[in-house]
Amino acid sequence: MESVSPYAVSVTNRSGLIVIVETLFMTWMIIVSLVRLYMRLAVNGPVKLDDVVVFTGSIMAIAHVGSIMDAVSHGLGRPEGQSSPSNLIRAGKVALPLP
């Protein structure tokens, strides 16, 4: 029996590429934020306003990655023929939440 990956990367299906890029950059952001926190607490002194802004932005970025992953699960990155119209509408609403 052949195993099929749900996030394959092909000429027409880009959902796997979206998942790889999003998780790669989110992981990098978390590592850099933790290094920044360590450097601030161990070397430079107390946490200041710029650190709070960076960590707030990190939390917002993690929420953004979550919404993109939800959109991928509903059809973002796949051809229109591979998803139902309701899933495509849901993916569009998750990726671009306009009224």
- Identify the pLDDT of residue 62: 93
Q: What angle do CA 72, 77, 83 make, to 5 degrees?
A: 75
- Identify the pLDDT of residue 1: 47
Residue with tokens 């749900």: 6
- Identify the pLDDT of residue 98: 63
Contact 75, 82 (CB under 8 A): yes
State the pTM of this model: 0.76
- Identify the pLDDT of residue 91: 72
The radius of gyration of the chain's CA atoms, rounded to the nearest angstrom, is 18
Mean pLDDT by runs of 10 across the 99 residues of the chain is 64 86 95 93 89 94 91 82 77 67
- Identify the pLDDT of residue 65: 93
